[in-house]
Structure 1
Amino acid sequence: MSLVLVADDEPAVLEVLSQVVEDLGHDVIQARDGEEAWNLARARRPNLVVTDHMMPRLSGLDLCRRLRGDEVLGHVPIILLSAVLPHGAPEAHAFLHKPFEITDFEALIRNALTAAPRPKPLEGASVAEALGDWVARGFEGPLSAARAEVVRLRMEGMADRGMLESLGAHLKTLEGLTRDFQEAAHLAARAVTLRLGVEDLGAHVRQALDTWKQRLPEVEWTLALPAGPVELRLDPERMHRVLDKLLGQAGQHGGEVRVEMESTPSMVTVRVKDRGPGLSDEEQQHIFDPFRAGGPGGALGLYIASELSRLHGGGLSVESKKGQGTTFSVILPRG
C-alpha cells in the first residue's frame, strides 16, 4: 500500500481519480488546488503525486517544478493530467491528455509506484520500544529521590533558595527528556495508538499558548485564530504534546512568537513563527531526525511532534532562512 496525493480543482474529477487509486489498494490524500497540494506533499511525503495542470493558486506544471526542486520530494514520481498541454512536461514522470481511459490511468499508477522510492524499512523497532521503557524505569527511582531531597532541603532551609530553584529546573528537564525518550522509542516502534475524538483545535491552541505565556512571560506571544470553533478528530493529550513542543522550540529564542491557524473544508494548518536565528538548509533537512548530533536543540521533541502529526493523518513541515526566523506548520486533515 502506498500514499498517493491527488490534486484537481474539479470536485467530481477529484473524487473519480481518488476512487480509482483507492480501488487499486492505496491511500489517498486530496488537494483542491496547487498550493494546497504543495503543502500536503511537504507534510505527508507521498509515494506518488497525481495532478491536474489548470488549477488555481499554483498550476500543475508549477507544482511539478517545485516538487522536482525539493531536496526531499525531488524523486517522487508525478503524473500530470491536462487538456491544454499537448505533450506534458519533462518535470513529470508521466503524462495523460484529458480525456483519457481509466485503464490507462490505472496502468500509469501501477508503473509509477513500481518506480517510486520506498522508505527504508524500520529495523529493531521492538528493541527500541523496550529500551525506551527500560530507560524510563531506570531513571524513575533516582529522579524521584532527587526531587524528594530538594523538597527536604527547601523545607529545612538548609540551602540557598536560588540554588534549589536551579536544581529543581534541571530535574524537571531530566524528567522531560526521559518522557521524550520513552515516547520517541514507542513512536519508532509504531506502538502508539491515538485516542481520537471530535475536539475544537482552537481551544487546545489557546490552552497551550496560555501555559507558555506563564512559563516565558518575557516572550511577546501573539495569536490569530478563526472566529468560530475548528472541530476535527484528534487525540487531545497527543495534540497538546505537538503544540507544546513547537511553542517551546519557538519560545527559546525570545522576542516575538506568532501562532496562526488557517482552516479550509479539507484541512487545518497551525503555524508557529519565531524571529530567531533561523536554520540552514542542512539543518532543515534533518530537523525532525531523532538523536541528531550537533543540530539545534529540541531534536527529540520535534521528532515526536512530527510523528504525532503524521499519526493524526497530517504532517509537520518547516520553513526557515538564516537570520530570518523559522516557521513550523502542522497540517491536519478534516473529516
Structure 2
Amino acid sequence: MSLVLVADDEPAVREVLSQVVEDLGHDVIQARDGEEAWHLARARRPNLIVTDHMMPRLSGLDLCRRLRGDEVLGGVPIILLSAVLPHGAPEAYAFLHKPFEITEFEGLIRKALAQAPRPKPLEGASAMEVLGDWVAQGFARPLSTARADVERLRAGGPGDLATLDSLGAQVRTLETLTRDFQEAAHLAARVVTLEPVQVDLGARLRQVLDTVRAELPAVRWRAELPEKAVELRCDPARVQRMVSALLLEAGRRSGEVQVELEPAAVTVTLRVRTQGPTLTDEERHRLFEPFRPEGAGGGGLGLYIASELARLHGGGLSAESTNERGTTFSVVLPRG
C-alpha cells in the first residue's frame, strides 16, 4: 500500500481521481491548490503525486519545479494533468492531457508506484528519536508541575484542594498525551481497522459534547443539531474519537465554539467554528501535521488524529480561517 497525494482545485475531479487511487488499494491525501499540495507533500512524504496544472496560488507546473528542487521530495514521481499544456513538462514523471480515460490513468498509477523510490529518511536523528524527543517534551511540563504539586501537598498537609485540583489536571493531561500518542502511532503505521455499523451521528455527537463540556467548562458551547436521527454507516468508537479530538482542540483554541451538523443525501458535514485568532496560510497548512512543537502551528495530536480518522472513513477534514468568521473546521463523511 502506498500514499498518493492528489491535487486539484475542482472538488468533483479531485474526488474521482482519489476514488480511482483508493480502488487500486492505496491511501490518498487531497490538496485543493498547489500551495497546499506542497505543504502536505513536505509533511506526509507521499510515494506519488498527481496534480492538475491550472490551480490557484501555485500551478501544477510550478509545484513540479518546486518538488524537483527539494532534497527529500525530488525523486517522488509526479503525474501532471492539464487541458492547456500540449506536451506536459520535463519535471513531471508522466503527463495526461485532459480529458483522458480512467484506464490510462490507472495504468500510469501502477507504473509510477512500481518505480517510485522509498521516501528519504529524516536527516540526522532517526524517526524514532524524533518521536521520542516529542514525547519527552510533551510530558516534561505536566510532570514537572505534578512533582511540584506533590511537594506542596506534603508540606501543606490535608485540605489543600486547589493543589489537588491542579494535580488532577496534570494527570489528565498525561493520560491524554499517552492516549493520543498511541492512537497517532497506530494511524501512522496504517494498522487501524474500522468496524462499520449503522449509527445515529447526532446522538453520538450529543454524547461527545456532554463529555467535552465537562472537561472544558469555561468554553461557551453552542450546538445546532437536527432533531431527527442522522444515520451514518461508520465505526462508532472511531467516529466518537474523531469528534472528541476535534472538539477538544477547538475548545482549547477559543472561548466560544459553535457546532453544526448538516446531513445531505449522500454525505454528512460537521462544522466546528471557533472565535480564536485568524490563522495564516502557513499555520492552516500545518494544523494537521503530527508531532509539531507548540508555537509552530501545532502542538497537539488531536487534529492529526481527527483528520486521519475522517480519511479512513472515506471523508476528509479541512480548515478555513477569515478575519470575519474565525476558523471553521469541516468534516465531510459519506453516509453509505
Q: Does the CA-based 8 Å contact 2:180-2:302 persist in structure 1?
A: yes
What residue is the counterpart of 2:174 in the other structure? 174
What residue is the counterpart of 1:326 in the other structure? 327
Task: Give the whole-Å Cα distance in 2 for the aligned partners of 1:262 and 1:120.
Answer: 42
Task: Give the whole-Å Cα distance in 1 for the aligned partners of 2:27 and 2:179.
Answer: 33
Matching of residues 90-105 of structure 1 within 5 Å? 96=97
Change (3 A) 1:111 1:9: same
TM-score, with length taken from structure 1:
0.62
What residue is the counterpart of 1:309 in the other structure? 310
Identity of aligned residues (%): 48
Change (3 A) 1:18 1:324: closer
Q: For 1:313, what is the secondary structure of its paired residue?
A: coil
Q: For 1:159, what is the secondary structure of its paired residue?
A: coil
Task: Give the whole-Å Cα distance in 1 for the aligned partners of 2:325 and 2:96.
Answer: 39
Q: For 2:301, what is the secondary structure of its paired residue?
A: helix
RMSD between aligned alpha carbons? 5.3
Q: For 1:268, what is the secondary structure of its paired residue?
A: strand
Task: Give the whole-Å Cα distance in 1 for the aligned partners of 2:312 and 2:158.
Answer: 48
What residue is the counterpart of 2:71 in the other structure? none
What residue is the counterpart of 1:231 in the other structure? 231
1:302 counterpart letter in structure 2: L
TM-score, with length taken from structure 2:
0.62
Task: Give the whole-Å Cα distance in 1 for the aligned partners of 2:239 and 2:11.
Answer: 30
Change (3 A) 1:116 1:317: farther
What residue is the counterpart of 2:275 in the other structure? 275
State the shift of 1:207 in Å: 1.4
What residue is the counterpart of 1:214 in the other structure? 214
1:226-262 Cα deviation digits (max 9, x unpaired): 4533222322222222211221122224432111223
2:307 counterpart letter in structure 1: S
Compare 182-191 and 273-282 and name the one that shifted more.
182-191
The number of aligned residues is 294
Task: Give the whole-Å Cα distance in 2 for the aligned partners of 1:118 and 1:324.
Answer: 42
Q: Does the CA-based 8 Å contact 1:200-1:231 persist in structure 2?
A: yes
Q: For 2:246, what is the secondary structure of its paired residue?
A: helix
State the shift of 1:306 in Å: 2.2
State the shift of 1:221 in Å: 1.7
Which 5+ residue runs of structure 1 have no aligned equivalent?
30-35, 52-60, 137-142
1:290 counterpart letter in structure 2: P
Task: Give the whole-Å Cα distance in 1 for the aligned partners of 2:252 and 2:11.
Answer: 40
Q: Does the CA-based 8 Å contact 2:310-2:331 persist in structure 1?
A: yes
Change (3 A) 1:78 1:66: farther
Work out whether 1:186 is the aligned partner of 2:182: no
Work out whether 1:158 is the aligned partner of 2:158: yes
Which 5+ residue runs of structure 2 have no aligned equivalent?
68-77, 140-145
Q: Does the CA-based 8 Å contact 2:289-2:298 persist in structure 1?
A: no
